[in-house]
Amino acid sequence: MSAEIKNLSPEHVWGYFYDLTQIPRPTGQMEAVTRYVVDFGKSLGLETLQDEVGNVLIRKPATPGMEGRKTVILQSHLDMVPQKNSSVAHDFSKDPIDAYVEGDWVTARDTTLGADNGIGAAYAMAVLSDTSLTHGPVEALFTVDEEVGMDGAFGLKPGFLKGETMINCDSEKEGELFVGCAGGADLNISFQYKDDPYIPEGDVAVKLSLTGLKGGHSGVDIHLGRANANKLLFRFLKEAVMEYGVRLASVDGGSLRNAIPREAFAIVTLPEDEADVFWELVSDYQDLYRSEFAGVEDGVTFAAEKVELPTTLIPEEIQDALINAIVGCRNGVLSMLSDFPGTVESSSNLAIVKSSEGLIEVKILVRSSSETRKAAVCSSLESVFALAGARVEEGSSYNGWQPNINSPILQAMQATYEALYGRKPAVKVMHAGLECGIIQGAYPTMDMVSIGPDLEFPHSPDERVNIPSVAKVWDFLKATLERV
């Protein structure tokens, strides 16, 4: 499979991308991939630096005669989101990604591909290694641990970068120039309790499995109307508890704060004489979900199987409070931007609901281009869970990147794109967390634009990157570096 990817055009971009797919690099495990990039920079004889949080910076001198140009920074992040289908035994800490070509796309078997943001890193590496290019001074910044907490961007210190113009390569639509993005905030919610050891005699235990959803990126895919596995599961649980005396023993829904949850599981108990009607209810809800999400979630599966009785249950008052809070929790698109039609302004993603001994944890990621709206959404969610008796804490929070339509690099890239392709690129704001806003906090005068090829379904096992668009962005990037 390596040959078919490495033979794609442009070969050096795809070659470096393939190399990155072979290095395990989930967020939090950056040693191997940063060592690879550091060794790459040094092998080219280029100035290669690494800061205290792990970010790698490689500097390439200007082409002779262009030393007086402004330094341009190419920025991407090295980590990837580790998502897989439950049917595969992939270990993201040690297994390479099984990437392959499918028509005009590169994708992976049953896991995320890591084109977010491996393809951006590959562009930068190709620029650094290609001696035929014409450009001013170039800095390539490879940040770490972007997907959870944006630690690399937050760890950047003033003075590490020399350039004041940055091209971020982490957006996902060819022909679109992004000049702003949403900020975000994590809500960490917890219910603490003592396990209830009493299980009524004659009860049976059932495992509920809600699977087959598409999931996706909780920013760029949130407007697609995809189902949230946690919301669907708890919608069912509310009726099951009210009508059939169901008790909740455990729950495990979602896995990543920035991914729309694709799967959710629960173990419940109920009187054995209610088992037949309970099975019918599960089947009815599967039909209901397939009907409501027809054309969007055609693969949704809701199944029940008998399992061994658990040793304890979640106390009934905690169970009821949790169910009511999850059902009442706002989720999905909450407001739209008026200045950029069709762009989401604010959203929330009920990402994780997970129980363990004496503890239920709920994690929600709130996004908004407006700091006041972000605060309002967080406050409304805090109210719902506080009324349910939960503890609510705000975790990491980051500001958005505010648009500057008078940006010099934007104007230069608009002109370059039109000269290459005979049409003007779209100028947009992204409803996702790019590192640009955080980097701007350390470098307030930084002039920035974000670009990227067509990338679909990031943060899900359906992730794929379009081959022709990768070539178009490469040509655009080369022409831009020659112009600015």
Average the pLDDT over 44-71 and give the result: 97
Please give the pLDDT value at position 2.
65
DSSP readout, 329-377? S--EEEEE-SSSTT-EEEEEEEEEEEEETTEEEEEEEEEESSHHHHHHH
DSSP assignments along 198-218, one per residue? ---TTEEEEEEEEE-----BT
Give the rounded percent of residues in the chain with a pLDDT score beyond 70: 100
Integer Cα distance of 105 and 102 in angstroms: 5
| Distance between CA atoms of residues 457 and 172, nearest Å | 10
Distance of CA 307 to the CA centre of its chain: 34
Q: Work out the average pLDDT over 123-148.
A: 97
What domains lie within the chain, and their CATH numbers?
2-182+400-483 (3.40.630.10), 185-397 (3.30.70.360)
Q: Is residue 79 annotated as part of the catalytic site, yes or no?
A: yes
Per residue in 159-188, pLDDT tens?
999 999 999 999 999 999 999 999 999 999
Average predicted confidence (pLDDT) for the chain: 95
Q: What is the average pLDDT across 408-432?
A: 95
> Which one, of 245, 244, 248, 220, lies nearest residue 233 by Cα?
248
38/430: higher pLDDT? 38
Q: Are 433 and 395 in contact (CB under 8 A)?
A: no
Q: Report pTM.
A: 0.82
DSSP 88: S
The pLDDT score that the predictor gives to residue 461 is 93
Of 116, 139, 145, 146, the active-site residue reads 146
Q: At what angle do helices 467-483 and 408-421 cross, to 10 degrees?
A: 120
pLDDT exceeds 80 at position 270: yes
Q: How far apart are CA 192 and CA 360, in angstroms?
A: 7
Question: Is residue 339 annotated as a catalytic residue, yes or no?
Answer: no
Cα first-last separation, the chain: 38
Phi, psi of 109 (to 5 degrees): -85, 105
Give the model's pLDDT for residue 1: 53
pLDDT in tens, 292-312: 999 999 999 999 999 999 999
Token code pair at residue 133 = 């290019």
Residue of 19, 79, 116, 463 with catalytic role: 79
Q: What is the mean pLDDT of residues 437-463?
A: 94
What confidence score (pLDDT) does residue 402 get?
84
Peptide bond just before 10 cis, omega within 30 deg: yes
Which whole number is the average pLDDT over 8-37? 97
Express each pLDDT in 146-163 by its tens digit: 998 899 999 999 999 999
